[in-house]
Amino acid sequence: MMESLIVGLIVAAAFAWVTWTILLPASLRNRLRRMAGRPVPSQAGGGCGGCCGCDAALPLLKKRHPAKRPGNSCGTQ
């Protein structure tokens, strides 16, 4: 009995996490956060939210494409 209760709680938590992170649109998640009194995360940068972009995250890209324009996504030359 206790094992099935624990399994049920784990399954319910997993379902809630999947619903929150994947199924709910960002606008609805942000509205629910505001209703709960929590700050809405800022939408910084590009796809992953990093400040220096993929050039800083993946130095192998520079080796494959050495003729890229000068400077990177952080604005340095």
Task: pLDDT band for 5, please (50, 70, 90 cuts).
Answer: very high
Give 24-38 pLDDT, tens digit per residue. 888 888 888 899 888
**Helix H segments across 1-77?**
2-18, 26-35, 53-57, 60-64
pLDDT at 14: 96
Report long-range pairs for 69-77 (Cβ below 8 Å, ≥24 apart): 73/46
Strand, coil or helix: 73: coil
Percent of the chain with pLDDT over 70: 55
Give 42-54 pLDDT, tens digit per residue. 765 555 555 555 5
